[in-house]
Amino acid sequence: MARQNHVLLAFGFAAATIFIGSSLILGALLPGYNPISQTISELGEKGSPFEDIFRVVTLFDAICLMLFSLGLCLYSVTERFSILPSVLIGFYGLMELGIGVFAAPHPLHNLFGIWSTPGFFAPLALVLAWKNASDLRVLRSLSAATFVIVLVAMLLNLSPLIHPYVFIVEYYGAFQRMLFFPFYLWIVILATSLLLRRGEAQSAE
């Protein structure tokens, strides 16, 4: 079981690599694409030369996130931690499936994107619900810092729904990456911390 859990937690690295790597590579290869002003979804929008590739990549990312959330859930149960962070990450991964199936500008694409918002609260959930993990103070501090960045980015990304500020619209791609990239990097930090913690525990036995 411990080995299987190691493998499941390692899917956190895969999810981050797939998402960040694909957005950077496809953005560099798509002629005329501007990552500062254009969204990640535009890489795979209907009619884009990368539409099919983007859909496959997004689906793989979603699967990796859900497998990681399963590993995190099993780890949490074993260590008697709250499973709330794993539930939020798993929910986010489930919404990613919808994002992958329905390419922009399909109305459901944006709806799944908005519905995925609760997933970004996973770092905050860890800070509040894992208080009994005294040896994970650094992880909790990094999670708190990540959530501050993510919260600011969320507000900026959702603001066009209320008022399309010119500054935000012009740099929307950058603000979107300010939301996604720190979140995925946090998943890498989380996976690394738990794998190292598990390794230290096994060495002590």
Q: In which residue ranges of the chain is pLDDT below 70?
A: 1-2, 199-205
Q: What is the pLDDT of residue 169?
A: 82
Q: What is the pLDDT of residue 101?
A: 93
Distance CA 107, CA 174 (A): 22
- Quick one: tokens of 137? 């103070």
Q: What is the pLDDT of residue 154?
A: 94
Q: What is the pLDDT of residue 149?
A: 97
At 131-189, the pLDDT tens digits run 888 789 999 999 999 999 999 999 998 887 777 777 788 999 999 999 999 999 999 99
Q: What is the pLDDT of residue 203?
A: 52
Distance CA 27, CA 31 (A): 8
DSSP the chain: -HHHHHHHHHHHHHHHHHHHHHHHHHHHHSTT--TTTS-SGGGGSTT-TTHHHHHHHHHHHHHHHHHHHHHHHHHHHHHT--SHHHHHHHHHHHHHHHHHHS-TTSHHHHHHHHHTGGGGGHHHHHHHH-TT-GGGHHHHHHHHHHHHHHHHHHHHHHGGGT---HHHHHTHHHHHHHHHHHHHHHHHHHHHHHHHHHHHHHHH-
